[in-house]
Amino acid sequence: MSRILYTKERWELVLDINKRLMQQYLRNCKADKKGERTIREYGYDLRFFLCWNLLSNDNMSVLDFKKKHFNEFKFFMVEERGVSNARINRLLCAIRTMMSYAEDDDDEYEEYFRNPAARIKGLEKKPIKENAFLSQHQIDLLRAYLIEHKMYQHLCLLDILYDTGARVNEVLQVKDTETAHQGFLKVVCKGGKSEYILLHQHAKESLKLHLSVKKPDEAFWQSKYGPAKTTSTLRGWVNDMYKILKKLDSGTPYFTPHSFRHTFLQNTTDGTHYLCKEIGRPFTMEEAQMLAHHKSIDMTKSYLKPKDNEMILGLFGIKIA
């Protein structure tokens, strides 16, 4: 089966009763005042699920699904897609709650009185991975490669992540605006609060390079399938960068977009970030906290490398190069 399940053409073929159930469920989520982002992601997940059903179950009504059908989808996501447990659990949650909505709607779905999706168990959460930190040298290696190979959109993503320490959903909001060229952007942060993220020398340089090759009709973040509407596209580009840097430096740890948030805070507070040379000193913890839009310094400190071993060895005058 193709890696791409959802297409406009396939969506046109999806059974009307399945589409209607999804639309009614999403409207109900809105009435229950769920967040816009949650509703949007549920919509993406359910379209994906219904297109899988179109191809795998001859477009049958999901109201006729038995437990085995939901398990087959779960198996498909585990074995053929190999996605994370968290992603699978989010998909299953969207499906369960949609089917629970049908079960509770006695007017529209009077005959649907047993929801087998409710008995489909999610996967265990995997242990939290150790945070990855990149050095300024590794950032410079990666930048040089992307510039040499004219991968300017990847370069722009790298520089914005490392210049700002912003969350990936905040970076997704970046557009070609006058304020971006001036070095700042207003974005909606976690919790729905609007804040500024600052673009510095490297991000401004890559912004110009990216725009110099971008076609006028393309979005700022443009994949080969169209404008990037979710963070999955940006995550894919970061994964490309990991593979590149791993070949350039075998000691590179596996990193994700969120790793740059950790790296930004670590490198700015220990003085190794290129911005520290510009201001002539490391950033204070208070400055780092404000740039990361954290509510407390303790939260900012939790993003840094543990110093337990360093402190203990320091008691005895031992240094590790």
Q: How far is 63 from 111, CA to CA, in rounded Å?
A: 9
Residues 16 and 94 grouped into a single domain: yes
Residues 37 and 169 grouped into a single domain: no
Q: Looking at 70, 85, 119, which one is the last position of a domain? A: 119
Whole-number pLDDT of residue 236: 94
Q: Looking at 119, 145, 168, which one is the last position of a domain? A: 119
Whole-number pLDDT of residue 308: 45
Residues 141 and 48 grouped into a single domain: no
Residues 145 and 232 grouped into a single domain: yes
Residues 175 and 233 grouped into a single domain: yes
Residues 245 and 166 grouped into a single domain: yes
Q: Give the type of residue at 292.
A: A
Q: Can you read off the two tokens belonging to residue 105?
A: 């709607």
Whole-number pLDDT of residue 263: 97
Residues 145 and 87 grouped into a single domain: no
Residue 126 belongs to some domain of the structure: no
Q: Looking at 87, 119, 151, which one is the last position of a domain? A: 119
Name the domain count of the chain: 2
CATH number at residue 86: 1.10.150
Residues 112 and 173 grouped into a single domain: no
Whole-number pLDDT of residue 309: 47
Residues 170 and 307 grouped into a single domain: yes
Residue 321 belongs to some domain of the structure: no
Whole-number pLDDT of residue 1: 56
Residue 107 belongs to some domain of the structure: yes
Q: How far is 216 from 44, CA to CA, in rounded Å?
A: 27
CATH number at residue 141: 1.10.443.10
Q: How far is 96 from 64, CA to CA, in rounded Å?
A: 14
pTM for this one?
A: 0.62
The domain containing residue 73 runs over which residues?
A: 8-119
Whole-number pLDDT of residue 317: 60
Residue 185 belongs to some domain of the structure: yes
Task: Write out the chain's pLDDT in tens, 321 residues.
Answer: 566 889 999 999 999 999 999 999 999 999 998 888 889 999 999 999 999 999 999 999 999 999 999 999 999 999 888 888 888 999 999 999 999 999 999 888 988 888 899 989 888 875 556 789 999 999 999 999 999 999 999 999 999 999 999 999 999 999 888 888 898 989 888 778 889 999 999 999 999 999 999 999 999 999 988 999 889 999 999 999 999 999 999 999 999 999 999 999 999 999 999 999 999 999 999 999 999 999 899 989 999 987 644 544 454 565 544
Residue 171 belongs to some domain of the structure: yes
Residues 32 and 71 grouped into a single domain: yes
Distances (CA, A) of 276 to 144, 280, 309: 20, 6, 25
